[in-house]
Amino acid sequence: MTSKRVAEVVVSRLEKRGRVSVEAKATPGRRGKARIVQLTPTGTAARNAAVRLVDTVQEDWRQRFSNAGIVRLHEALSRVVDRLPVELPHHVTGYGAGDPSVTGGDYVLEDPGPPRIPAHGQDWPVVIREPGSAARHLPLPALLSQVLAAFAIDYERERLGHLSVVSNFLRFVGDEGVTLARAQALGGVSGNGKTLHERHLDVVVEPGRPSDKRRRVYLTPKSRRMRDAYPHLVTEIEQRWCEEYGDAVPAMRSVLATMDERFDDDLPDYPDTNGWMHRLWFD
């Protein structure tokens, strides 16, 4: 599941690369013509290669982290996903190329339900999960993505920033600020006033020569509140999840903590929700 704005960007880029074709066709019961998107032979080959790659990585993980561990993780994730009220993305994505949030804000207010439908932007599709749809048949990446998205939705519901922004940027900037070079390495700041964190007034950058990377970057008061709330809020949400999803949550934590100890690199606490869209322009 992706927002309309993500779908438009992706289809446009894939059409230019010859992976899909788009044709206007009349559809029964609908006025006018609908744009029908179909895979080209090149697109079909890419899709099949991606399916094989997912299978390969899952098998590699079984070898690396033990089959029993992956089975436990898959079972725990499935139990959570089966209880989610709406379908969520099967791959990590934001609402748009310039919006790292999952649902795109609160243009449409939350419906407490049941089923609970989160607040969302006008381009975010609401698809109620069908009774009996078994998450256990999904591959591991689809389960991980949906659980991450669900946690991010609960986090962003508190209006204390986007989980990806707080966990990967704001919490690494102390009250004393960081150099522009460090802020650029963390991502989202260039010093020209046009990047995400500058436009959203998350940070202020010391004036000076554009080439001076020693200029300091400081969090604004609202960003400091977001940063300081982060450790308390993630703990609070995890506790809520334990009450709602039972022992599936500590089971997930146990397996993931063991896996984290064996990863080669220091990976981010939350994945880049927009990077895959940006790569479509250059790959």
- Indicate the domain borders of the chain: 4-157+246-279, 159-245
CA dihedral 102, 106, 110, 115 (to 10 degrees): -30
With 80 as the cut, is the pLDDT of residue 132 above it?
no
**DSSP β-bridge partners for residue 108:** 120
| pTM: predicted TM-score of the whole model, two decimal places | 0.91
DSSP string computed for 147-186: HHHHHHHHHHTTSS--HHHHHHTGGG--TT-EEHHHHHHH
Encode burial over 132-167: b for 16+ CB neighbours within 10 A, e otherwise: eeebeebebebbbbbbbbbbbbbbbeeebbbbbbbb
Strand partners, 120: 108
Please give the average per-residue pLDDT across 64-84, as a whole number: 94
pLDDT tens across 184-238, in order? 988 878 888 888 888 889 999 999 888 899 999 999 999 999 999 999 999 999 9
pLDDT at 200: 86
Contact at 8 Å (CB) between 231 and 170? no
CA–CA separation, 246 vs 154, rounded Å?
17
What per-residue confidence (pLDDT) applies to 172? 94
| Cβ-Cβ contacts under 8 Å for 119 (sequence gap 6 or more) | 103, 105, 106, 107, 108, 109, 110, 157
pLDDT, tens only, 52-62: 999 999 999 99
Distance CA 82, CA 101 (A): 23
Q: 36-57 pLDDT, tens per residue?
A: 999 999 999 999 999 999 999 9
Q: Is 279 helix (H, G, I), strand (E, B) or coil?
A: helix
C-alpha to C-alpha distance for 160 and 240, rounded to whole angstroms: 17
pLDDT above 90: residue 282: no
